[in-house]
Structure 1
Amino acid sequence: MLELKDFSLEYGENKILENINFSLEKGKVLGIVGPSGVGKTSLIKGIVGIYKGTSGKILYNGEEVYDNSKIKEKIAYVPDEHNSFYLITLREIIKFYKSIYNKFDEKKFYKINKIFKIPLNKRFLQLSKGMKMRVNLMVAFSLNAELLILDEPTSGLDPILKEKVLKMIVEEVANGDKSVIVSSHNLMELERICNDVLILNEGKIEYYNSLENIKRNVKKIQVAFDMPVYIEDLSFEGIFNINQVGRVFTIVIENNDDSFKEHINKFKPLFIEEIDLSLEEVFINRIEGKVIDEEIF
């Protein structure tokens, strides 16, 4: 199991990450999302042991990840930038990984390449961004690591290949002996594959929950009143955002339970309508406090 305990990272006087706490069990896919520049890649590089935190711990199976080669063998990482192999060919890449990773599965590599179709004699330098991503994905999946970490894994891929990569991610955790972390700006893709979602903002965890709980509890409520009601009257714990247009209020709330409904009913609403939210809408309302424009009636 992966555990982050009060993990913080600073560059000089700049706080990049502050008091990050979460855990990830095997058999699950965690999606990490957030605006650009909030520390997602730094967090990932801390998890894979590239960055040493200023304070706190990152543990895998109870052991520190940083400067621990035994633990790092259990982790596969696909970065968003793909220049690591440079002049060597795909055939040479296979040979390299076979020589240093006992669990490298050459048959699995070739099986995936039947889908990705990268010429074995092609030099890495000659490949497009999308083809470089395919090579890195093939390597990562073939390592048979317990923890697979993917930074923007569908970037540069066409829709058909994106679909296949998402299916591969789900299949990796199907047996319950592996876990996957995916950082992506494509929230529609994450919504299809993730068990848990972590929203990072300004170096801190803004929101962390299971996708199941988000779907069940986070709702958009549209309510209208015949009597004078103000935003301050409707304030309630767990509200992400309130927007008012005339007599109609749009409320995004995390816990749409009986106590919130009782609070609303005090003001004798004309109607109450409950609307499900996508992960993207939850993200926007949590980070920006914006309601997606739509016709009310």
Structure 2
Amino acid sequence: MIIEITNATKFYGKHKAIDNLSFNVDKGRIHGLIGVNGSGKTTLIKALVGIHELTSGQIKVFGEPVFENPAVKARIGYVADRNRFFKNYTVNALIKFYSEIYPKFSIKKFAIYNDKMQLPLNSRINSLSKGMQMRLSIMLNLSRSPEVLVLDEPTSGLDVIAINDVLNFIITEVNTNQMTVLISSHHLSKLNALCDNITIINHGKLNTHTLLNEHQNQIKKLQVIFTTPIDLSSFAADTAILDIQTIGSVHYIVTNNLPHIEAKIKAIGANLLEELPMTLEEIFVYANKN
């Protein structure tokens, strides 16, 4: 395991921001971290990159604690949800600064990325838009060739084309150098296509941690039509039912136990029973209901 999070708990005063979280991330994997606003994602990420110290529990990267460990931090890239650069620096000056403090930083690699991103190198940071500053942060961190890259809402302020370019940069780095990635984003459809694993947290607690494909196999949506009108209100008491919606004669049933519900529906005379695909957005919604 490259990242090991064990019983991580963080208090701010009396507020418990993260609550006994445990999960691991393997080398060369892209791991998604999702949750509603205030769920504890950013707090966990800041503890993971060594900005905040946990109240209890531990976070290890490469088998070592991260907090106050410069040698480990040097191997981790971090793209924050809000970038805090030297505002009066030009982009070129910031590139020079990174090349001086990070031995593995590649100016050539940055130039390759910027062929796509097209940032004005002589512009001052404070003149760049939020989206341009996010592009800059991503390119600077990737140009360091980190072994672990942690991204907190990296698509914030980016247009669709820039998002696709950034994700392609990340995928290439993972495939080429086995970089390990932890990414938090509200663009769940992008995570659906990008991630090998996902962790869902809710109110600072672990909701679900699993391989993405396994997770999608757990929650299913059925489209059901009966020969004669049927009242499905009694189904609502079944714990295997996560949601029932009826539009005209068509019933949409979401379940976490497909064989059980299929048998139950067939027993009362379903004329049509068809499984529908589930998006990560839908899975996230239903996972947070339980």
Judge same fold: TM > 0.5, yes or no. Answer: yes
Match of 1:152 in 2: 153
Question: Distance in 1 between the 2:201 and 2:109 partners?
Answer: 34
* 1:247 positional shift: 7.6
Q: Which amino acid aligns with 1:47?
A: L
TM-score, L = length of structure 2: 0.90
RMSD after superposition = 2.3
Match of 1:73 in 2: 74
* 1:31 positional shift: 1.4
Contact 1:188 1:279 (C-alpha < 8 Å) held by counterparts? yes
Q: Which amino acid aligns with 1:240?
A: L
Match of 1:219 in 2: 220
Match of 2:243 in 1: 241
Match of 2:204 in 1: 203
Contact 1:5 1:56 (C-alpha < 8 Å) held by counterparts? yes
When structure 1 is superposed on structure 2, of 260-269 and 181-190 the one drifting more is: 260-269
- Name the SS of the counterpart of 2:176 in structure 1: coil
Question: Distance in 1 between the 2:69 and 2:108 partners?
Answer: 28
TM-score, L = length of structure 1: 0.88
The aligned runs of 1:1-297 (5 Å cut-off) are 1-175=2-176, 177-224=178-225, 230-232=233-235, 235-237=238-240, 239-243=241-245, 249-256=251-258, 258-288=259-289
* 1:126 positional shift: 1.4
Unpaired runs of 5+ residues, structure 1, are 290-297
- Superimposed CA distance per residue, residues 69-107 of structure 1 (whole angstroms, 9 cap, x where no aligned partner): 111111100111123221112222122212221111121
Q: Which amino acid aligns with 1:150?
A: L
* 1:181 positional shift: 1.4
User: CA 1:278–1:229 in 2, change beyond 3 Å: closer, same or farther?
Assistant: closer
- Superimposed CA distance per residue, residues 37-92 of structure 1 (whole angstroms, 9 cap, x where no aligned partner): 21111111111111111111111121111111111111100111123221112222
Question: Distance in 2 between the 1:80 and 1:46 partners?
Answer: 14
Question: Distance in 1 between the 2:236 and 2:152 partners?
Answer: 43
User: CA 1:271–1:125 in 2, change beyond 3 Å: closer, same or farther?
Assistant: same
User: CA 1:229–1:36 in 2, change beyond 3 Å: closer, same or farther?
Assistant: closer
* 1:287 positional shift: 2.4
- Name the SS of the counterpart of 1:52 in structure 2: coil
User: CA 1:159–1:15 in 2, change beyond 3 Å: closer, same or farther?
Assistant: same
* 1:33 positional shift: 1.4
- Name the SS of the counterpart of 1:111 in structure 2: helix
Contact 2:216 2:283 (C-alpha < 8 Å) held by counterparts? no
**Residues matched between the structures, number:** 287
* 1:259 positional shift: 4.5
When structure 1 is superposed on structure 2, of 111-120 and 215-224 the one drifting more is: 215-224
When structure 1 is superposed on structure 2, of 150-159 and 275-284 the one drifting more is: 150-159
* 1:188 positional shift: 1.3
Unpaired runs of 5+ residues, structure 2, are none
Contact 1:223 1:248 (C-alpha < 8 Å) held by counterparts? yes
Question: Distance in 2 between the 1:121 and 1:245 partners?
Answer: 57
User: CA 1:184–1:264 in 2, change beyond 3 Å: closer, same or farther?
Assistant: same
User: CA 1:16–1:233 in 2, change beyond 3 Å: closer, same or farther?
Assistant: closer
* 1:11 positional shift: 0.7
* 1:273 positional shift: 2.0
User: CA 1:280–1:65 in 2, change beyond 3 Å: closer, same or farther?
Assistant: same
Identity of aligned residues (%): 38
